[in-house]
Amino acid sequence: MKDLKVPERITEENLIELYKQMWTIRYFEEKVDQFFAKGKIHGTTHLAVGQEASAAGVCALLDKEDKITSTHRGHGHCIAKGATPDKMMAELFGRTTGYCKGKGGSMHIADVEMGNLGANGIVGGGIPLAVGSALTAQMKKLNYVTVCFFGDGATNEGSFHEAVNLAAVWNLPVIFVCENNQYGMSGSVKEMVKIEDIATRAKSYGIPGVVADGNDIIEMMNVTNEAIERAKNGEGPTLIEAKTYRWKGHSKSDAKKYRTRDEENEWREKDPIKRLKELLISESVITEEQAESLQKEALKEIEDAVAFAEEGPMPTKDDLLTDVFA
């Protein structure tokens, strides 16, 4: 691995596990897509197929005590931060064995024990929460960082500007990760902002803004590592823009009529999982056979998660007011 420039703490074993993890994320998303189509999962869902490298790459550098806030497109963030697919799948199936006992669904999975402060159905809703978490770390002198995931559309929300400004002024240990997947619902980012790179907005708040290839897990790890070091050294936040692409529509009801097949195919050629596989094989970290075996292990984990979810009990009317506070 001598020619592979990765953060010092990342080992070959870590890279192998990350390859499997990205397949776990993708298979989870694809299985959820299938069950929504069959009407076995209710509500809505927002899939991040094609964006696996940003979630896995960022969270690979986080410790258990580090925190994240997620988005409505957050299944990958949850898995990358240590959530188990069985309890996640049970949550989507509305079972009491899920992370939120079946009451949160796709957009509200939280796992506080692993540092996942929760996904959020409100665009930009997790950004102020992440800043609050970082303020807690600073005031209590706790040595953790908070990573805030959000999409390109959220950077036009007031919550983004207010929270980033406050974090910058107070030098808070928070890392803002904008997953620019090129579309906010059906609106192209090119039509929504006049600047080429969203990371440019960091200059307005006097913090570093970094543009990264969101489909390159190695690059995502390196830029995240630098941001963590800054945050833990008391130098304040960083804004990372991960340029990536969602293969699916905005949600389950999106026919994707606003983009071309050529554009989709162009981005599929940049498949982050394929890129990592080719890199690991070229660096003799794994063989083709090992890569195939890891892929099969990931699929088996998701199939087991589905079985766990389907076996879980549904809430009863007696559960209606449980965990509800007024």
DSSP H helices, 170-271, are 189-192, 217-232, 261-268
Domain membership flag for residue 72: yes
Which of 130, 131, 127, 86 is closest to 109 using CA atoms? 86
Give domain status of residue 157, yes or no: yes
3-class SS of residue 168: helix
Question: Is 214 a member of any domain?
Answer: yes
Q: Tokens representing 19?
A: 């390859």
| Half-sphere exposure (Cβ direction) of 266: Cα atoms closer than 13 Å | 6
Domain residues for the domain of 26 are 12-310
> Cα separation of 200 and 173, whole Å?
20
- As a whole number, mean pLDDT of residues 228-254 equals 94
pLDDT digits (tens, 9 = 90+) for 191-231: 899 999 999 999 999 999 999 999 999 999 999 999 999 99
Instruction: Note whether residue 320 is domain-resident.
Output: no
Distance CA 38, CA 187 (A): 28
Average pLDDT over residues 154-183: 97
Q: Which two tokens stand for residue 179?
A: 């997953």
Arithmetic mean of pLDDT, 10-15: 96
Tell me the per-residue pLDDT of 296-308, one tens digit each, with 9 for 90 and over.
999 999 999 999 9
Is residue 325 assigned to a domain?
Answer: no
6, part of any domain: no
pTM (2 decimals)? Answer: 0.95
230: in domain: yes
Which position has the higher pLDDT, 171 or 326? 171
Look at residue 287 in the predicted model and tell me its pLDDT: 97
Q: What is the pLDDT of residues 49-101, one digit of tens each?
A: 999 999 999 999 999 999 999 999 999 999 999 999 999 999 999 999 999 99
Count how many domains the chain has. Answer: 1
Residue 3 in any domain: the answer is no
Please report the pLDDT score of residue 2 as a whole number: 62
CATH number at residue 144: 3.40.50.970
